[in-house]
Amino acid sequence: GVLRFAQDDSIGAFFRSLYSHRLNAIVKQRILAIDFGTKRIGLAVSDALGITAQGLPTLERTRLRDDLEHLGALAEEYAVERVLVGNPIGHGGGETSMSQRVAEFAEKLRPHLPCPVDLWDERLTSVEANRTLRESGISIAKRQRAVDRLAAVLLLQSYLDYLENERRRQGGASE
């Protein structure tokens, strides 16, 4: 339930501020993840608590300007505080031609957003997404439509798990 206290009660004011601070510590801003592709862009957004990644409809690429405007509108709609773009670096950790394209795309995206745009290692997300969908038994046509969204979900979930592990390692599980 909702806690209510008399306005002139100093103990009530203390608990109101404590309760408000606790809510602010729990509710986190959302993160938007982008699995960049030349034909489609897979999308996922974190839940309000920053625990799980939820897939959004895949963006069919049209013109770069339209794609950037669409992503800017999504960032505004979900009030995201950060955007992650999957960076397909090579298995040895080096740049690939696609990782260079992703970096260029992220650079073009930054001016369209009021929040940071970071690259995040996605080495195996598309492979994992394809494996998961193949094992699920769904048709190839449905798999092709779902793979980008699932890759974005896996990308974002790996980042959320990383943040949670960092919090635990630093001793502040909920801060």
In 3D space, the residue among 54, 19, 26, 14 whose CA is nearest the CA of residue 156 turns out to be 54
Alpha helices in the chain (DSSP H): 10-26, 64-77, 97-109, 125-136, 140-169
Q: Tens digits of per-residue pLDDT, 58-99?
A: 999 999 999 999 999 999 999 999 999 999 988 888 899 999
Residue 68's contacts (CB-CB under 8 Å, 6 or more residues apart) are 108, 109, 112
In 3D space, the residue among 37, 36, 57 whose CA is nearest the CA of residue 45 turns out to be 57
Compute the average pLDDT of residues 42-64.
94
- Tell me the one-letter amino acid at 111: P
Q: Tens digits of per-residue pLDDT, 11-31?
A: 555 555 544 444 444 446 899
Say what the pTM is: 0.77
The percentage of the chain sitting over the pLDDT mark of 90, rounded to a whole number, equals 53
Top-confidence residue, 124 or 105: 105
Give me the count of residues in the chain: 175
